[in-house]
């Protein structure tokens, strides 16, 4: 199994878990769990494939992705009550999913010989859009837009690192590993140590 496929499987599983956790916080039924888990799991990858004109879309080519997402939803439906802080689990699982999904998007674009800006954008789309769809549908402030937090910027930095490593002829596994490491380090640092970017402040302050 090729690295891009493995990355897609891993990101689908972990993002599905985050979607199911969000569904548990919203107290949905099991069908709602499955829907939100699947939306989160394949949303970013679907948009990536449509933009890259990759058909069939990855989960239509291999429905195993949907089965994985639904299985994750069922697991969380019956076990979420055992977790003391579901929001904390959500944050860290989402960070891990981001660090897997960004390299998946980068790899897909590179295999199609896309230029550097498209590679970076596809990494960001794959990493960020599923979680954005999840939070918008549930009606929560999207994690990707939390004030000052490193999320989209972490995805951008990870994808950019992959592009830079490609220019020095890094091995594919090292390239994708560097992408994942940069993404994870920045997102985890934001959660653990409060790393953030400056936010806009109006002058004079908004009334």
Q: How far apart are CA 11 and CA 184, in angstroms?
A: 13
Residue 22 belongs to a domain: yes
Residue 198 belongs to a domain: no
Peptide linkage before 56 cis (omega within 30 of 0): yes
Determine the pLDDT at residue 207. Answer: 55
Residue 29 belongs to a domain: yes
Residue 135 belongs to a domain: yes
Determine the pLDDT at residue 137. Answer: 97
Long-range contacts formed by 48-56: CB under 8 A, 24+ apart: 48/105, 48/108, 48/109, 48/122, 48/125, 48/126, 49/108, 51/122, 51/125, 52/108, 52/109, 52/112, 52/114, 52/122, 54/108, 54/112
Residue 199 belongs to a domain: no
Count of domains forming the chain = 1
Residue 197 belongs to a domain: no
Q: What is the pLDDT of residues 126-164, one digit of tens each?
A: 999 999 999 999 999 899 988 788 999 999 999 999 999
Average pLDDT, the chain: 93
Percent of the chain's residues with pLDDT above 90: 83
Owning domain of residue 47 = 3-192
Residue 204 belongs to a domain: no
pLDDT band at 169, cuts 50/70/90? confident
Determine the pLDDT at residue 206. Answer: 60
Collapsing DSSP to helix, strand or coil, 114 comes out as coil
Residue 203 belongs to a domain: no
**58 or 3, which is more confident?**
58
């Amino acid at each position: 199994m090729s690295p891009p496929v493995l990355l897609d499987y891993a990101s689908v599983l972990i993002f599905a878990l985050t979607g199911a956790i969000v569904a548990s916080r919203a107290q949905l039924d099991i069908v709602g769990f499955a829907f939100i888990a699947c939306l989160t799991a394949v949303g970013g990858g679907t948009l990536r494939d449509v933009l890259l004109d990759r058909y069939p879309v990855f989960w239509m080519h291999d429905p195993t992705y949907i089965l994985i997402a639904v299985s994750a939803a069922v697991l969380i439906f019956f076990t979420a009550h055992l977790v003391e802080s579901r929001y904390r689990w959500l944050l860290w699982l989402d960070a891990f999913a981001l660090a897997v999904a960004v390299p998946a998007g980068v790899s897909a674009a590179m295999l199609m010989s896309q230029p550097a800006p498209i590679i970076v954008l596809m990494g960001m789309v794959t990493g960020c859009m599923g979680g954005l769809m999840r939070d918008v549908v549930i009606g929560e402030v999207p994690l990707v837009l939390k004030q000052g937090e490193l999320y989209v910027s972490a995805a951008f930095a990870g994808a950019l690192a992959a592009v830079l490593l490609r220019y020095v002829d890094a091995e594919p596994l090292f390239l994708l590993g560097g992408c994942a490491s940069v993404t994870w380090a920045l997102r985890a640092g934001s959660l653990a140590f409060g790393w953030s970017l400056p936010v806009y402040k109006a002058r004079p302050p908004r009334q």
